Chains A and B, each alone.
Chain A
Amino acid sequence: MTSTPVHIREEPADAAPHAPTGGGPGRPAGRRIRDWLTAFAFTVPALVLFGALVLLPILFALYASLFNWGGFNMPSDFTGLGNFTKLIKDPVFLGDLWRGFLLIAFSIVVQLPFALAMAVMLNQKLRGRAVYRMLFFAPYVLSEVITGVLFSMIFAPDEGLADRLLGKIGLDGVGGLWFADPHTVLPTLFLVMTWKYFGFHMMLYLAGLQGIPPELHEAARIDGAGAWQRFRHITLPLLGPTVRISVFLAVIGAIQLFDLVWIITAGGPDHASETLAISMFQYGFKRYQVGYGMAISVAIFLISLAFALLYQRFVMRRDTEGALTTMRGAAR
């Protein structure tokens, strides 16, 4: 990641190839056909794979979600939208949506500002800042399963590191059941998620920060702008595209959250930490109510799709204008 999304808009408009290279108007027709054939030969395998591994499963999930299906043979017991009407009355599913919303809100209000603050700090001239950057990024590299096992031990009630440490510094009553209490499981889980993922967002911001020309800060300083003013009026606006991307990734990540929760709580106690993906897994692979599980997967797909489209249309419009249609900046 040497370049940043900031540069996307700086590309000249006509730099992007609209057709396979070399297909200019002055070329002979035979050459052009051969070029198209080449493009065809290169894209068809990818399209076939995309169709077989992405499009077909999506279409099949849509189809199977209309059946009461156990997962073996072909679906035959057609229920129409039965699975979906059941879904919108299912307290666990509605709870999943609420918990998903909470996680997203937490991410945007707490995790991302924290990551940004760390990035700004580590962007200064600081002794050993490479070490800090590496340390803060390290949790992101760790596998979800190891993180899960590690934190179930740290937050084990009474005997875990967290409760022991709190006891040692005289805060006996502060610690609690953590993952084992329906009321505290979500905040505790969020703590772990922040620990695990803030380093990734910090890295995104750091990359973005390095793309901001230092001259701007110098000029502002000469004009007498304070640190906060410079952050507010130079850093933040120029970091806009990076922030928008990072919010996007955080939201999609929260919608699809599975492995960490599965390892730590399996969605419990009593569904208090269950996510959409966990409900889907439970119905699909534990209960073998595959049709119903498919209905949940379709719901996840629609939520993600709606969010992605609306977000790109309204929030990332300026960042992606042209880029999505002509792949401008993809080479950078």
Chain B
Amino acid sequence: MRPLGDTSLTRRRFLAASAAGLGAAALSACGSSDDGKGSGSTTIEWWNITTTQPAKKIWAARAREFEAKNPGVKVKIVTLENEAYKSKMTALTASGKLPDIYHTWGGGVLEQQIDAGLVEDLTSKIAPWSGGFVPASVSAYQFESKTYAVPFDIGAVGFWYNKALFTRAGITTPPTTWAGYLDAVKKLKAAGITPIGLAGKEKWPGMYYWAYLAMRTAGLDAMRKAADSKDFTGPGFVQAGEHLKDLVGLQPFQTGFLGAGYSTPGGQAASVGNGKAAMELMGQWAPSVEASSGKGLGKNLGFFSFPTVDGGAGKLTEVFGGGGGHAVRKGAPQAAVDFLKFFADTEFDKKLVKETGLIPVVKAAGTALVDPNLKAVSTAINESTGFQLYLDQAYAPAVGQEINDSVAALMGGTKSPEAVAKSITQVAKSQ
């Protein structure tokens, strides 16, 4: 008995010791930094999700440059993978202690953090230098005319189309109205071409159609109000579903679209990239995914904005998209804001555009953009008169998923436009 008791004791001690060690490491990882103030040196902690090269290297180099120019300031970088970051941040938000500078997508999640009193209002602090931003790139971080984050990335969704296939079907200019769009789809079908590639399995690409149609029929204001009142049963939302039903009725998608993935072999991007389908509704990343999962369309690839709907409240210049920005913890040292200014410098944004393929958020950095596809998206964003953030980021996760789910059911023919609006409202109200 004696030896047994002894070993178990030492093992327990060992376990306890290592558990304490792990705990301490975890704590120090989320530790704050203002304790450095007194000794004349400040450490600011910067959490981001830039895990890919060369961006990661360039970002780190920027932090070192900032340290060199500001003696006594240290920038501690914590880089996490996307999903890990999301779950870590929800835990940190719950505990009430956020990093000094952290990545945000804006929308509902940022609003939650603001409501909890955890985020610094940057409106006046960045006022002297925030005039240079593309307005749409900041809009996801603005609530009640206050700004809570500084953007570094922006993107938008639109139709990516195959010019050669459009010409073959006798379509000379991309449609600007929904009626014209349906006509174009009919012409493509008549010419024996699959009009649209769609990843039905993944649901979110289908949601883009409903979201854009809701923006065009109900309008941005109605979407904002619906989010606040949790009521999506207004006529504009039902109409959006009806217009989508009209499109689905034409059977415009590739064979077996209900089982298709987005970037998988034979999926949505591949079908467009290989010239099997004439277009897709997708974000600014579409050209690169088309080229990596298919052959890519090269010069044949074109971009046009989502058409308007006759009698609808929305305009052609209102875009749907999202990006990335940096928010600052309430009570973070001034150096955090200084660093964001340093990071938003025009020359540095040009470098990011050139070397990491971002779309410029600083107007003056636009000259650095040479890729014609990204230029088209950038132009749409720069000229936009309104901006709607991706619905799954703008709304609570359950509402976003219900929209995806209901719209997928509408496209599969099992839900009516009214039922879609009703289900979304039901889930929103239960939140």
Point out residues on A near B: beta carbons under 8 Å. Answer: 34, 37-38, 41, 45, 68, 71-73, 152-153, 156-160, 177-182, 185, 265-266, 268-271, 282, 286-289
Contacts and interface: CB of A to CB of B under 8 A. Distances in A.
30 contacts: A37-B1, A41-B1, A41-B4, A41-B5, A45-B8, A68-B430, A72-B93, A152-B259, A153-B265, A157-B255, A157-B256, A158-B255, A158-B256, A159-B266, A177-B258, A177-B259, A180-B257, A180-B260, A181-B256, A265-B201, A266-B201, A269-B200, A269-B201, A269-B408, A270-B408, A270-B412, A271-B409, A287-B397, A287-B398, A289-B398
Given A38-B4, A73-B94, A269 B398 contact: no
A266 B408 CA distance: 13
A92 to B, nearest CB: 9
Nearest to B8: A41
Given A41-B8, A270-B409, A72 B91 contact: yes
Given A72-B90, A177-B255, A286-B397, 15 more contacts: A34-B1, A73-B94, A153-B265, A156-B266, A157-B255, A157-B256, A159-B266, A180-B259, A180-B260, A266-B202, A268-B200, A269-B200, A270-B408, A288-B397, A288-B398
B320 to A, nearest CB: 21
Contacts of B412: 182, 269-270
B167 interface: no
B414 A270 contact: yes
A271 B415 CA distance: 12
B259 A72 contact: no
Nearest to B415: A270
B401 interface: yes
Interface of B is mostly: helix
B1 to A, nearest CB: 6
Interface of B: 1, 4-5, 8, 90-91, 93-94, 200-203, 255-261, 264-266, 396-398, 401-402, 408-409, 412, 414, 430
A114 B393 CA distance: 49
Contacts of B202: 266
Contacts of B257: 180
B1 A38 contact: yes
B163 to A, nearest CB: 25
A289 B4 CA distance: 47
A68 B94 CA distance: 17
Report, nearest first, the 4 A-B pairs whose CB atoms are least far apart.
A180-B259, A157-B256, A180-B256, A269-B258
A23 B287 CA distance: 76
Nearest to A35: B1
A66 B4 CA distance: 44
Given A38-B1, A41-B8, A286-B401, A270 B258 contact: yes
Nearest to A270: B412
Nearest to A158: B255
Nearest to A44: B8
Given A41-B8, A153-B265, A268 B397 contact: no
Nearest to A157: B256
A153 B257 CA distance: 14
Given A72-B94, A180-B256, A152 B1 contact: no
A180 B5 contact: no
Nearest to B91: A72
A100 to B, nearest CB: 20
Nearest to B12: A45
Nearest to A177: B256
A179 B261 CA distance: 12
A84 to B, nearest CB: 15
Contacts of B409: 270-271
Contact of A179 (B94, B203, B259, B396): B259
A153 B270 CA distance: 14
B82 to A, nearest CB: 14
**Residue from A45, A177, A269, A271 having most chain B Cβ neighbours under 10 A:** A269
A73 B398 CA distance: 18
Nearest to B5: A41
B402 to A, nearest CB: 7
Nearest to B266: A156
B109 to A, nearest CB: 11
Contacts of B397: 286-288
A31 to B, nearest CB: 11
A153 B260 CA distance: 11
Nearest to B259: A180
A288 B87 CA distance: 11
A182 B255 contact: no
Nearest to A74: B94
Contacts of A177: 255-256, 258-259
A268 B201 contact: yes
Contacts of A269: 200-201, 258-259, 408, 412
B7 to A, nearest CB: 10
Nearest to B90: A72
Contacts of A71: 90
Contacts of A152: 259, 261, 264
Contacts of B255: 157-158, 177, 180
B195 to A, nearest CB: 17
A265 B430 contact: no
A318 B71 CA distance: 80
A268 B407 CA distance: 13
Contacts of B408: 268-270
A157 B265 CA distance: 12
A268 B259 contact: yes
Contacts of B264: 152
Contacts of A157: 255-256, 259
A68 B4 CA distance: 47
Contacts of A179: 256, 259
**Residue from B1, B8, B256, B396 having most chain A Cβ neighbours under 10 A:** B256
A239 B105 CA distance: 60
Contacts of A37: 1
A41 B324 CA distance: 55
